[in-house]
Chains A and B, each alone.
Chain A
Amino acid sequence: MSGTPKTGTNLEKRRRQARMFRFLCAAMTWLAVIVLAILLVHITKQGIKWVDLQFLTSFPSRFPDQAGIKSALVGTLWLIGLTALVSIPFGMASAIYLEEYAKRGKLSTFIQINIANLAGVPSIVYGMLGLVIFVRFFALGRSLIAGALTMSLLILPVIIIASREAIRAVPGSIRQAAYALGATRWQTVRDHVLPSALPGILTGVILALSRAIGETAPLVMIGALTYVAFLPEGPLDAFTALPIQIFNWASRPQEDFHSLAAGGIIVLLVVLLAMNASAILIRQKTQQGKQ
């Protein structure tokens, strides 16, 4: 057909490309989901029979039947709680300062690039830093607080970056509206910028804490104990954490301890899911009245 317009000639080819691209994206997504599912099924099959009340309420033991993760679970909860207490205020304050107060310029760009770089530093390096500064210099010893401060250093860049993005996404028209009503910067940030940015900030915080909860290397570095038959009673006590306990069990030769490690992983995942769920709940609560 000589009269066919030129623009329509390769329509079939373009449709094929579109289908292929869609297929590619779907395949990648499902591949990732399937690998994750296999992993979960495998872990669950191996470890679920060990996860019971006795497992949760016992201290570690030489005998797999009597071994439990009480001290590791409590240690992890302490560690994450303290890390959250330290990292959230520091991270949010830094993000607010950088976005709302600091002048845009070379220094601010320099800081921004360096924060992004810090987010990519291997965690073992933070462990060494923690060992030198918190454990030795500040003489905090192998304590929970030394671990929490090290973890806070580790996840601060992530929290700052996520919070900055969330704060930047708040439309400027909202700030202008507030300022035009005679609001100070603080009133504007407190009543409008932060509430609007909170869902994004929370997402970043949860992602960061989820990373911290699974980190092993920095804790090994600062000398968290692997066998703890007591519960920490304060921030200055020695501790162990779930990933360390799991690592310890997994490195034993006996098969039963490998299954115990799988059980520990299940507990760790449940703690993680609980954290995520609470973040979603908080997010929904803060978003009420917006839609």
Chain B
Amino acid sequence: MTQESKEQQTPTSATRPNVLEARDVTILYGDSPAVRNADLVIPEHQISSIIGPSGCGKSTLLRAFNRMNEFIPICSMKGSILYRGDDIYDQGVDPVEVRRRIGMVFQKPNPFPKSIFRNVAWGPAINGYEGDPRELVESALRSAALWDEVKDRLDSSALGLSGGQQQRLCIARALAMQPEVILMDEPCSALDPVSTAHIEDLLFALKKEYTIVIVTHNMQQAARVSDYTAFFETGVLIEYGETDQVFTRPAQKRTEEYVTGRFG
């Protein structure tokens, strides 16, 4: 990696503290590396997107931010991931606590086969939330722009919702935990354009209160919604910078080729 690209990897302005920081992260599946020596910082209250061709390790890196790779037996990680300066992979850190603060929305909408209300209320309930669950459910559903569509049928099954509604329910479910960061793994890839537009509008609204990291293979989406963009290829972070700069004046040749659609 060239010196030039190293400098690209700390694009944040001094005024915004970093919420998450990946330091020299290498992630292996068995012996084959999915992510190699990645350094990445995620600034507060911004939307950072990770783009790259299929199999470039972007989802793997995202899942490292809330220790979700631990459920894959052959997956191992080197390097460190700092959350507010503390390594979340330290010995004494409980992964349950990490995931409580760093929420996640998955590629395929995966609501629980329960009522809409239960879907949102469950996370806080098991984490000892003592307030009024109805208030919490309403505010989470409002934040996810879903309240008006479901307020009259909170007790009906979440599986009766459309794909786009299910995904917004999953976002509401993550929001109900009042996390600081929301990781989104290609949240729109299973959705139609209208639902996708809904979710993108939602992202803009959410970034006032949350730090968002979104993995997407849709470059237009990254260009539209994100403040910072990281481009990965074959597990290597090629370029990281402000979205405008990455898309209009990329420093690396490969980035330019990718964002102009010449491969990937």
Contact = CB atoms under 8 A, between A and B. Distances in A.
A173 to B, nearest CB: 4
Given A176-B68, A191-B126, A290-B113, A181 B157 contact: no
Contacts of B99: 179-182
Given A191-B126, A192-B112, A182 B177 contact: yes
B114 A183 contact: no
A13 B110 CA distance: 45
B126 A176 contact: no
Count class of interface residues, chain A: 20 to 34
Contact of A181 (B115, B159, B177): B177
B147 interface: no
B110 A174 contact: yes
A71 interface: no
Interface stretch (B18-26, B100-108, B214-222): B100-108
Nearest to A170: B113
B100 A182 contact: yes
B113 A196 contact: yes
Contact of B126 (A174, A175, A177, A187): A187
Pick the most buried of A104, A175, A291: most chain B CB atoms within 10 A of its CB: A291
Contact of A184 (B96, B103, B113, B114): B96
B110 A173 contact: yes
Contact of B112 (A174, A184, A291): A174
B157 A183 contact: no
A180 B157 contact: no
B112 to A, nearest CB: 6
A179 to B, nearest CB: 6
Given A174-B110, A196-B113, A290-B159, A183 B103 contact: no
A180 B113 contact: no
Nearest to B101: A182
A289 interface: yes
A89 B127 CA distance: 27
B51 interface: no
Interface in A248-290: 289-290
Contacts of B108: 173
B125 to A, nearest CB: 9
A103 interface: yes
Interface string B82-114: 000000000000001101100110101011111
A176 B115 contact: no
B152 to A, nearest CB: 17
Given A182-B96, A182-B177, A289 B157 contact: yes
Given A181-B177, A191-B122, A289-B115, A103 B73 contact: yes
Contacts of B127: 181-182
A183 B159 contact: no
A289 B122 CA distance: 15
23 contacts: A171-B110, A174-B112, A174-B113, A176-B106, A176-B110, A177-B111, A177-B173, A179-B71, A179-B99, A180-B66, A180-B68, A180-B99, A180-B103, A181-B126, A182-B97, A182-B100, A182-B123, A183-B126, A191-B122, A289-B157, A290-B157, A290-B159, A291-B157
Given A173-B110, A181-B122, 16 more contacts: A173-B108, A176-B106, A180-B68, A180-B99, A180-B103, A180-B104, A180-B106, A181-B123, A181-B173, A182-B177, A183-B123, A192-B112, A196-B113, A289-B115, A290-B157, A291-B159
